[in-house]
Amino acid sequence: MIKKIYSSLPSFKTLSFNSGVNILLADKTDNSSEKSTRNGAGKSSLVEIVHFLLGGSCGKESIFRTPELINYSFSMLLNIEGYEITVSRAGSSPSKVRLSFDPQSDFFKMIKTKNGYCKNTDWKIYLGALYFNINADNDEINFRSIFPYFARKQYDGGFLEPTTYFRSQKNSNKQIALSFLLGLDWHLANEQMNLETRKKDLNNLKKIVATQTYKNLLNVSANLKTEITLIEDRVSKLNNNIKAFKVYPEYKKVEEEASEISRQISDLSNKNYLDKQLIDELEKAANEEAANVSELTIDKIYEEVGLKLPDLIKNTYEDAKKFHEAIIKNRRSYLNDEIVELKTKMSERHEELQLLSKKQESKMRILNSHGALEQYNNLQNELNILENNLTERKRQLDILNTIDESKSKIQVSEENLRMKTKRSLDDHFELLKKAILSIEHSSNALYNFKSQLEIGLSKSGISFIMTTDGQKSKGITNMQIFCFDIMLIEMSIFLSRKLRFLIHDSHLFDGVDDRQIKNAIQYAINLSKDLDFQYIITMNSDDLPKFDDLDINDFILPVKLTDKSVDGGLFGIRF
């Protein structure tokens, strides 16, 4: 239980608590804002102090880091099964706490301090061991993940829903915490959380594959395998070609020389062709010249017409004929000389062609058996591109295989976990029954209110659901929270855990009927007395109902808060 809360801040109002029900009242003026109520009267700030001293975070937004409070320490005296320990902490050095306890006590033997101080991280581990018997080596569940159920904070959304204490609390966190608090096999809830993480990772992987680059590869692993096979074959062949490739140092020069020889051969061949055409023409012309010499004489012509050729004409004709024959003979001689000259040139070219052909053959043998460095590099670049494509395709196939295998494994794991969880719930039926009946009893004690706790299997593990008759309202939700938290403190005691206090601030009673508030306080008084636990309530004084057969003043703390004056609040100052 909490015995005392105090501070080095001179204006702070020290609070001393008793066992059972403790009511801290505050007067609230009609014109008070939410901020002035919080920082003025300090009802919600009491919950903040308890969290601060029990390892809660202290970021820049914390009230303990404000200029008005940062240099002051706050302290709390705790009694745990008869053993007392005092914890102090300041906003100026939130990473450490000062502890005061009996060092000879076996109860506190696990606590290690240096000059009375220990790290806040270690303090949280000690609190888990002290209050819930959590092993120090356990990193799957800790004090801070379960304690907020026993001191809900309005600012965090602690009064939105019974089974959660934080507005963005993950379902996996809730399952683990509630499974632990109810004495169930919380390791199954942790397995469920790990399974959900695997499913999330798989979904993220699917998102990657679903991008423009990969979306066409989904569910086509067979085609991808075919593509990989074809690329591998091309890579193998190209590798063999590269291994057999010989680089000739002067390949480019030889290639140019071979090209020049080819050009020369082409030129010579073209010239021979033209000269052959010319020879044919010359031989034809020579033959035609021979045919032009006629065997017909002028005498025969005269004889045919019956005339006698005069001697003078005959002599003149014979001279002309001889002259003409001489011209023809000279012409044929010229043509023959041209033909001989052309044939001689053709012969010379033929010999040159034979030499060039041999040189070309030699060059081509080099070119055919060797390659240029540029060609080799091109082949190597092509191989690199193919190998990169092959690597990419294999990676894509691995991703697809991973998705398929992971999906199958997750489905198997889900079913196995579901069966294990079902068996575990059956094995822990007596604990479940106790929790269910606790809700039943507390809800029956309230006026015109019926609520039930349903615990069962869901797709995401164990489900914890609070149900109620009729329409939901803020007041009904808050009474469900009251019943749920009373159940948690009952289960803590039943499971022989040492946390035996529960704190609710005035927000629990927002929208709640006076008769229900009265019955809730009455039920808490009776139950805390029977089970020996502490219940601390902060309330506005005008919300406290009248009790006919009970002196409620016996449970009201002597310190009364107000926001009517600057020094009326818990801290005695405004900030």
pLDDT tens digit string along 313-334? 556 656 666 766 666 677 677 7
Share of the chain above pLDDT 90, in %: 44
Q: Quick check: is 163 in a domain?
A: no
Q: What is the pLDDT of residue 555?
A: 95
Q: What is the pLDDT of residue 48?
A: 95
Lowest mean pLDDT among 170-174, 282-286, 290-294, 424-428: 290-294
Question: Given pLDDT bands bounded at 50, 70 and 90, which one contains residue 485?
Answer: very high
Per the structure, the count of domains in the chain is 2
Q: What is residue 318's three-state secondary structure? A: helix
What angle, 0 to 180 degrees and rounded to 10, lies between the N-to-C axes of helices 373-427 and 186-209?
150
Q: Quick check: is 162 in a domain?
A: no
Q: Mean per-residue pLDDT for 58-65?
A: 93
Q: Is residue 366 domain-shared with residue 500, that is, in the same domain?
A: no
Characterize the bridge pairing of strands 534-540 and 2-7.
Answer: unpaired
Query: How far apart, in whole angstroms, are the C-alpha atoms of residue 565 and residue 575?
Result: 13
The reported pTM is 0.71
Q: Is the pLDDT of residue 470 over 80?
A: no
Q: What is the pLDDT of residue 37?
A: 40
Residue 58, phi-psi category: left (phi > 0), alpha (psi -120 to 50), beta (remainder): beta
Q: Which of 227-231, 312-316, 513-517 has the highest mean pLDDT?
A: 513-517
Q: What is the pLDDT of residue 505?
A: 92
Q: Which of 252-261, 314-323, 524-533 has the highest mean pLDDT?
A: 524-533
Q: Is the pLDDT of residue 374 over 80?
A: no
Q: How many CA atoms, within 13 angstroms, populate the side-chain half-sphere of residue 572? A: 12
Out of 370, 404, 438, a domain closes at 370
Lowest mean pLDDT among 129-138, 146-155, 303-312, 418-427: 303-312
Q: What is the pLDDT of residue 382?
A: 76
State which residues form the domain around 522.
Answer: 2-152+483-562
Of the two residues 75 and 421, the one the predictor is more confident about is: 75
Q: How many CA atoms, within 13 angstroms, populate the side-chain half-sphere of residue 550? A: 16
Residue pair 146/174 in contact by the 8 Å Cβ criterion = no
Q: How many CA atoms, within 13 angstroms, populate the side-chain half-sphere of residue 115? A: 1
Q: Mean per-residue pLDDT for 441-455?
A: 89
Q: Quick check: is 118 in a domain?
A: yes
Q: Mean per-residue pLDDT for 360-388?
A: 68
Q: Mean per-residue pLDDT for 193-220?
A: 70
Q: Is the pLDDT of residue 450 over 50?
A: yes
Question: Given pLDDT bands bounded at 50, 70 and 90, which one contains residue 387?
Answer: confident
Of the two residues 547 and 126, the one the predictor is more confident about is: 126
Q: Is the pLDDT of residue 403 over 90?
A: no
Of the two residues 553 and 337, the one the predictor is more confident about is: 553
- Give pLDDT tens digits for 17-52: 999 999 999 987 655 554 444 345 788 899 999 999
Sheet strands side by side (includes 73-80): 15-16, 2-7, 73-80, 83-90, 96-101, 117-119
Q: Mean per-residue pLDDT for 153-176?
A: 92
Q: Which residues contact 302 (CB under 8 A, 6 or more apart)?
A: 308, 309
Q: Quick check: is 38 in a domain?
A: yes
Q: Mean per-residue pLDDT for 219-236?
A: 75
Q: What is the pLDDT of residue 307?
A: 57
Q: What is the largest CA-CA distance in the chain?
A: 189
Out of 311, 335, 370, a domain closes at 370
Q: What is the pLDDT of residue 326?
A: 66
- Give pLDDT tens digits for 63-94: 999 999 999 999 999 999 999 999 999 999 99
User: 7 has which bridge partners?
Assistant: 74
Question: Given pLDDT bands bounded at 50, 70 and 90, which one contains residue 13?
Answer: very high
Q: Is residue 361 domain-shared with residue 496, that is, in the same domain?
A: no
Q: Is residue 28 domain-shared with residue 140, that is, in the same domain?
A: yes
Q: Mean per-residue pLDDT for 183-192?
A: 89
Q: Mean per-residue pLDDT for 241-250?
A: 60
Of the two residues 526 and 373, the one the predictor is more confident about is: 526
Q: Is residue 12 domain-shared with residue 145, that is, in the same domain?
A: yes
Check which CATH number belongs to the domain holding 532 and give it.
3.40.50
Q: Quick check: is 339 in a domain?
A: yes
Of the two residues 36 and 214, the one the predictor is more confident about is: 214
Q: Quick check: is 35 in a domain?
A: yes
Q: Mean per-residue pLDDT for 442-447?
A: 89
| Structure-block tokens of residue 396 | 């894509």
Q: Is residue 366 domain-shared with residue 503, that is, in the same domain?
A: no
Of the two residues 450 and 20, the one the predictor is more confident about is: 20
Q: Quick check: is 233 in a domain?
A: no
Q: Is the pLDDT of residue 570 over 80?
A: yes
Query: How far apart, in whole angstroms, are the C-alpha atoms of residue 46 and residue 12?
Result: 11
Q: Is the pLDDT of residue 208 over 90?
A: no
Q: What is the pLDDT of residue 219?
A: 46
Q: Is residue 133 domain-shared with residue 258, that is, in the same domain?
A: no
Tell me phi and psi for residue 29, to 5 degrees. -80, 160
Out of 370, 405, 435, a domain closes at 370
Q: What is the pLDDT of residue 38?
A: 39
Q: Is residue 25 domain-shared with residue 147, that is, in the same domain?
A: yes
Q: What is the pLDDT of residue 447?
A: 76
Q: Quick check: is 179 in a domain?
A: no
Q: What is the pLDDT of residue 360?
A: 72
Lowest mean pLDDT among 433-437, 465-469, 523-527: 465-469
Q: Mean per-residue pLDDT for 104-115?
A: 92
- Residue listed under structure tokens 């005498």: 299
DSSP 8-state code for residue 303: H
Q: Is residue 6 domain-shared with residue 125, that is, in the same domain?
A: yes
| Structure-block tokens of residue 451 | 């609520």
Q: Is the pLDDT of residue 8 over 50?
A: yes
Q: Is residue 10 domain-shared with residue 147, that is, in the same domain?
A: yes
Q: What is the pLDDT of residue 385?
A: 82
Q: What is residue 345's three-state secondary structure? A: helix
What does the angle CA 401 – CA 405 – CA 406 come to, to the nearest 5 degrees? 115
